Amino acid sequence: MCSQRIIAVFTLITVECIRASPPNFVLLFADDLGYGDLGCFGHPSSLTPNLDRLAANGLRFTDFYVTSPVCSPSRAALLTGRYQTRSGIYPGVLYPGSKGGLPLNETTIAEVLKSQGYVTAMVGKWHLGVGPNGTYLPTRQGFDNYLGIPYSHDQGPCQNLNCFPPDVKCFGHCDQGVVTVPVFFGEMIEQQPADFLQLEKAYSDFASQFIHVAVQNKLPFFLYYPSHHTHYPQYAGAEYAGMSPRGPFGDALMEFDGSVGKILQTLEEAGVINNTLIFFTGDNGPELMRKSRGGNAGLLKCGKGTTYDGGMREPAIAYWPGFIQPGVTRALSSSLDILPTFAKLAGASLPEVELDGVDMTNVLFNLGPSKRKTMFFYPTFPSEKYGVFAVRWKNYKAHYYTQGAAHSETTPDKDCSVLSILKHYDPPLLFDLESDPSENYNLSGPEWDSVRQQIQAIKEQFEASVVFGESEIAKGIDPALEPCCNPNCSPKPQCCHCTVMDADTASITIT
Ligand SMILES: *[C@@H]1O[C@H](CO)[C@@H](O)[C@H](O)[C@H]1NC(C)=O
Ligand SMILES: *[C@@H]1O[C@H](CO)[C@@H](O)[C@H](O)[C@H]1NC(C)=O
Ligand SMILES: *[C@@H]1O[C@H](CO)[C@@H](O)[C@H](O)[C@H]1NC(C)=O
Ligand SMILES: *[C@@H]1O[C@H](CO)[C@@H](O)[C@H](O)[C@H]1NC(C)=O
């Protein structure tokens, strides 16, 4: 056993020591947020005081990657520690009427932690399927509690989505001809369409309540908080609308940051701030096609939808006062590593599957080098024929294929545009991301042959290990599966309309 006092001496920290008192986990996840979007990652006009506080007193990651430049696959990999090609969450993303979802035999972080007696909750955007009778909802994948929209908030007709100033329609279009966006509580629809201006507040209230109930019951907890911010179309409640110098994107980001602040405050009030590991990152790069209403990849090339670093390298922060020493790490790390890391800290065994994540406690506690040496970049539409588009090995990144994307349209860089068609490179383009993080200068000349050969060998070895799971997204869409609060009503989708929030929304499940 270790006393808190001994643990607080950084040099004496050991993972066994931490296990004596397993921490709570809060996993914060932003949507379509770029590498350059936070104040603490260099944005001049974003107001993110709470995330900046986490970064100043925690560990900021410069080289943190997700596994996909779009939403559903990135989230599947986050929650399973496996590339999405294994779990079948490809190509593209899931829709409200999708027949498939994250297969139930995949083991999520929530399931791993539940085996150790953790109570679990998810608040926000799922995007890993709903399916017939809610087959794929978070409640079926280890989350005791769920409040949220199970997909993107533009996957409905944007009704009730008014932006600042009030009653002004949001910029752009959402999906038409499908049901309006529902808010689920557990497996029941509580509200349809969602009231976006109240949504983030409902989320952060629910998160706080969950933390209080878990602490009162003396149970370790896992809170997964994937916000809809800062995905298009941006919105913000009254407290934040018009408050940011950065416009609607800045307001949405500021509202998310405000929720982070409320969660921090709750952890302090509940007396568990020193026993909770908070991890923050985002699902994929910025949606540059929204111009100044989209996010910003900072000095990285392109954004969402591409396998350039702007599409898949994300801001990340780990915070745990007294345990994680404040600083910046350049260690190569990934959303894949969160499951094995949380498992290690909770003393849970790993799922018996081909896992792509590695335990990153070495990086968190400054105990040694990162176990991760490589990162593989799958495009939005992966196929066995093309395999990975790019490979990062140490500080090098080799591109075998590149392709622009509609999501990254409109910047002056032609490579990002959808008009930049699939290109194959033999030999691969090679960049040194330490001296050239913007992927501008192909390393040419025979002196780089050995690096290219080494990466080729790593790529072949990885691809030989990947068995593509049956595509869940290719199972297609059935409009009858779109979630509706009046299941047997007609005519759909208009009749799927419920405005009364059930008073039970407040109750938290702890078993
Ligand atoms: C889940 O089940 C499918 C279908 O039987 C199988 O192909 C897949 O390998 C299983 N996945 C895991 C993680 O066990
Ligand atoms: C959903 O469950 C109900 C009640 O168990 C059943 O009658 C219905 O067939 C199920 N629907 C689907 C699409 O599986
Ligand atoms: C957390 O630890 C700090 C530093 O040891 C201490 O000042 C603070 O009171 C602790 N907070 C709680 C809620 O235990
Ligand atoms: C990149 O450099 C390699 C090695 O010198 C060279 O063979 C290749 O043609 C270059 N690729 C491009 C697109 O310039």
Look up the CATH number of the domain holding residue 308.
Answer: 3.40.720.10
Residues 297 and 386 grouped into a single domain: no
Residues 320 and 460 grouped into a single domain: no
| Domain extent for 287 | 24-373+497-505
Residues 447 and 459 grouped into a single domain: yes
- The answer as to whether 358 is a domain residue is yes
Per-residue pLDDT tens over the stretch 355-373: 999 999 999 999 999 999 9
Look up the CATH number of the domain holding residue 411.
Answer: 3.30.1120.10
Residues 359 and 401 grouped into a single domain: no
Pairing mode, strands 423-432 and 396-402:
antiparallel
Q: Is the pLDDT of residue 1 over 70?
A: no
Residue 3 banded pLDDT, cuts 50, 70, 90 = very low
pLDDT of residue 467: 97
Tokens of 84: 């999405």
Q: Determine if ligand 1 sits within 6 Å of the CB of residue 471.
A: no
Ligand 2 atom with the smallest distance to the CA of 135 is: 14
- The answer as to whether 13 is a domain residue is no
Residues 37 and 230 sit within 8 Å (Cβ to Cβ): yes
Q: Is the pLDDT of residue 374 over 60?
A: yes
Residues 278 and 71 sit within 8 Å (Cβ to Cβ): no
Cα angle 31, 32, 36; round to 5: 115
- The answer as to whether 460 is a domain residue is yes
- The answer as to whether 482 is a domain residue is no
Q: Determine if ligand 4 sits within 6 Å of the CB of residue 442.
A: yes
Q: Determine if ligand 4 sits within 6 Å of the CB of residue 456.
A: no
pTM of the predicted model as reported, rounded to 2 decimal places: 0.95
- The answer as to whether 1 is a domain residue is no
Counting ligand 2 atoms within 8 A of each CB, the residue from 133, 188, 484 with the most, and so the one to mutate, is 133
Report the nearest-CA residue for atom 8 of ligand 1.
469
- The answer as to whether 256 is a domain residue is yes
Residue 114 banded pLDDT, cuts 50, 70, 90 = very high
Ligand 3 atom with the smallest distance to the CA of 273 is: 13
What ranges make up the beta strands (E) of 276-312? 276-282
Residues 327 and 381 grouped into a single domain: no
Residues 341 and 397 grouped into a single domain: no
Share of the chain above pLDDT 70, in %: 91
Active-site residues, by number, are: 71, 127
Report the nearest-CA residue for atom 8 of ligand 3.
274
Residues 283 and 329 grouped into a single domain: yes
- The answer as to whether 475 is a domain residue is no
Summarize the confidence of residues 299-307 as an average pLDDT: 98
Dist. CA 275 → ligand 3 center (Å): 10
Residue 10 banded pLDDT, cuts 50, 70, 90 = very low
Ligand 1 atom with the smallest distance to the CA of 82 is: 13
Dist. CA 364 → ligand 1 center (Å): 32
Q: Is the pLDDT of residue 66 over 50?
A: yes
Q: Determine if ligand 3 sits within 6 Å of the CB of residue 427.
A: no
Residues 68 and 210 grouped into a single domain: yes
- The answer as to whether 11 is a domain residue is no
Residues 47 and 139 grouped into a single domain: yes
Q: Determine if ligand 4 sits within 6 Å of the CB of residue 412.
A: no
Spatial distance between the Cα atoms of 342 and 338, rounded to a whole number of angstroms: 6
**Whether residue 233 has a cis bond before it, omega within 30° of 0:** yes
Residues 363 and 430 grouped into a single domain: no
Number of domains in the chain: 2
Residues 81 and 104 grouped into a single domain: yes
Residues 49 and 69 grouped into a single domain: yes
Closest CA to 314 of 68, 26, 150: 68
Q: Determine if ligand 1 sits within 6 Å of the CB of residue 468.
A: no
